[in-house]
Structure 1
Amino acid sequence: MLFARIVLLIQIAALVLLGLAYFIRPEEMASFSGALLMSAAAVTEVRAFYGGLQLGLAAFLAMALLRLDLLRPALTLLVLLYSALAVARIGGLWLDGGAQQTFNLYALLLELVSAGLAWWALRGIQRGN
């Protein structure tokens, strides 16, 4: 149970930091991946999707720390989300020629590690540890 809570705390911290960064400085954050935001609508989309979604996910994870009945669903959500991101990123790297995409390779590593840690924490809860 302690490991699961530590995983959630790390995820909350990362999601809050990234969510705020994408909400406050969307152009700079998008440029790390090579994306250019060419209109006000694009900037708003990044603020909402990359900023708001990450902040909302962090809020749910924080609720799961306070309510133990949400701990398993929160970890399950993290496993599914990070696994889906990793699979989609692998597909994108394959389709778009990913050998030189340093940003996406690091993002893939982060997604795989995050999914693995959440899965490990979930397995620990299911075994009663």
Structure 2
Amino acid sequence: MNSLSETVISNIKKALKENNMSQAELGRRIHAARSTVTHWLDGTNGIRQDKLEEIAKVLHHDISWFFIDENEKHIKQQKLNHNQILLAMSLDSDATKEEVDEAIRYVKYMHAKRLESNEHTGEN
């Protein structure tokens, strides 16, 4: 399991505690078997994007919150690299900083998932 997956899992567990919700209750609310939720949270299986979006809604967090390491949650301003700036500039000019930051975190997440997949398949 990579550190991004660990971050997402850790944040889901934290949000469950914040909401005083069991894994079984989360499963009921997002129409997933309790064993499926257990496998997500022990790192056995990955979480599909649509299910993570449902989890975020049920646990009252923006989806991007789940991708931020606890140490990064305290950082108010982050420096952007060149590609991130290009991404931000390509968004609607009325996009808020939070929307841009969320888009950047999502792109980083998808990049990490691609790299993880490539490691398993031996691709570059």
TM-score by length of 2: 0.41
Higher relative contact order at CA 8 Å, sep ≥6: structure 1 or structure 2? 1
